[in-house]
Structure 1
Amino acid sequence: MRKLPVVAALVAFTPLLSACGAGLNLFDRGAPDEMVVARQAPLAVPPDFALTPPEPGAPRPQTPGASQQALEAMFGGPAPRSTVESSAISKAGTAQPGIRSTVGDPDTNTVDKGVTTQDIVAAPEGDGAEAQTIIPE
């Protein structure tokens, strides 16, 4: 009875000992050979010899500025437009160049929609179950 736990432990730990020796390799992982050394290709000189070395302390040309990095950190990069948004923008067309200056102009003609439009806009929200129509005579 005392030999059973010892035999069970030896059977359980035998696969762990297989990594210690090369004689009985149960899993044959195909380990790389440390004696095989491959030479790397030599560095190539760029064809443009007019390149100048960077100035010490100068910002890297491929990285965006600090303000651009801050905007991307706060709001993320540009989000792709959905198909509905792209369709609405394409159907809207382009605005006139001076439209913002002419909107507030007192000479701009506007259409008075009257009290009916104001009543519709100011109407309380609901599902329309209690809606009534009054036809003036």
Structure 2
Amino acid sequence: MLDTTHNLPRGTICIEDIEIGMSRSLSKVVTDRDIELFAEVSTDRNPVHLDDDYAHDTIFEGRIAHGMLTAGLISAVIGEQLPGHGTVYLGQTLKFLAPVRPGDRVEAVVTVTDMDLRKRKVTMETYCAIDGKKVLAGEAVVLAPSRKFD
């Protein structure tokens, strides 16, 4: 369940209304349950995510969330807010910069950097941060919904 206390309204912004520089975000505390559910759904049961004793002896010195769980927060912003419902992902690059731990509040942010109105393509800078420090950065390219195709 998403923590919606810091989220903007959800819905759809059609390509005709998107502008370069538009940005949306969400904030979520990553919980032990989130990590356990992601492990179950993805079948990634690496003990660095699930076993305190094992994780303590790694370079992370404790359990961390799956990187793709964190990246999923970017997908949530894109699919729910900007452009929103009806968006189709075309590509996403990701650079993992720092670990996310259970209890961390992660802010996922997407900002429009380029558009091709004719092709309905939107390029966005994407990142996740904890207390203003980026833990993940990348770029997404999506196909935005259009009023012309309703």
Query: TM-score w.r.t. structure 1 length?
Result: 0.17
Answer 1 or 2: which has greater helix percent: 1
Greater RCO, 1 or 2 (C-alpha within 8 Å, sep 6+): 2
- TM-score by length of structure 2 reads 0.16
